[in-house]
Amino acid sequence: MATEERDDALVAALNAVRLPDPPADLKAKVLARIAARPKATPIRPLRRLVLPLVCASAAALLLVILASGTRAGRPHEVGPSPAQAAGTLAPQETAAWPLLSRSAALTIRRQGDRYAFFVAAGPGAPELRWEAGAWDLLSGGNPVVLRRRAGATEVGLWAGGTQVLRVPLPEK
């Protein structure tokens, strides 16, 4: 209990001390000094506004780039879709590809999963046919360049509505 009495005595002594009065013009001087300071540019609010805008713009640009290069089943691949593949150019060096099969009407050369079919030209020339869905047409004309998909097993030559040649292909 002696501690509480000492605390009360100390509080009473501190309350008895008279505070000095500030000079009468102190408030006016302080306000004048504050008003005389140059105005600071609001960098922090500007930074808070610009940084999110820059990040949002970068994210939007990234999404546009990724979306423009994405196709169904083939994300991030640049080039025409399979529906437009007939208009693309295939390498014309197909004559240098390894020989797979040769006959009077058809010569087949292979480079990886790409096949070049050279059909004999002339009157009544046969027509090259292949399994729908098993090949991607890379280049039409002569040679016809096709990319083999899983499941492709053969190609055929047709003349006058009848099959004149059937060429089975090696396993992929």
Confidence at 82, pLDDT banded by 50, 70, 90: low
Whether 118 and 157 share a structural domain: yes
Q: Percentage of the chain with pLDDT > 70?
A: 67
Average pLDDT, the chain: 75
Do residue 8 and residue 36 come from a single domain? yes
Integer Cα distance of 145 and 114 in angstroms: 7
Cβ-contact 130, 146 below 8 angstroms: yes
CB 147 within 8 A of CB 138: yes
Residue ranges making up the domain that contains 60: 1-79
Regarding whether 91 and 74 lie in a shared domain, the answer is no
Whole-model pTM above 0.85? no
Determine the Cα angle at 12 with ends 8 and 22, to 5°: 140
pLDDT above 80: residue 75: no
Contacts 24+ apart (CB under 8 A), 132-138: 136/82, 136/85, 137/85, 137/86, 138/85, 138/88, 138/90, 138/114
Report which of residues 35 and 86 the model is more confident about.
35
- Whether 139 shows a pLDDT value over 80: the answer reads no
The predicted-structure confidence for 32-66, as pLDDT tens digits, reads as follows 988 888 776 666 666 777 888 888 999 999 888 87
Token pair 């001390």 is found at 17
- Residues across the chain: 172
Does pLDDT of 171 surpass 70? Answer: no
The reported pLDDT for the residue numbered 168 is: 72
Domain count, the chain: 2
- Report the side by side order of strands in the sheet with 154-159: 127-130, 154-159, 162-168
- Of 54, 79, 104, which closes a domain? 79
Residues 138 and 109: beta-carbon distance below 8 Å: no
Q: Which of 126, 169, 125 is nearest to 151 (CA)?
A: 169
Same domain, yes or no: 19 and 71: yes
| Last residue within a domain, chosen from 49, 79, 109 | 79
Report for 59-63, 100-104, 151-155: range of highest mean pLDDT: 59-63
> Do 40 and 95 fall within a single domain?
no
pLDDT value for 117: 79
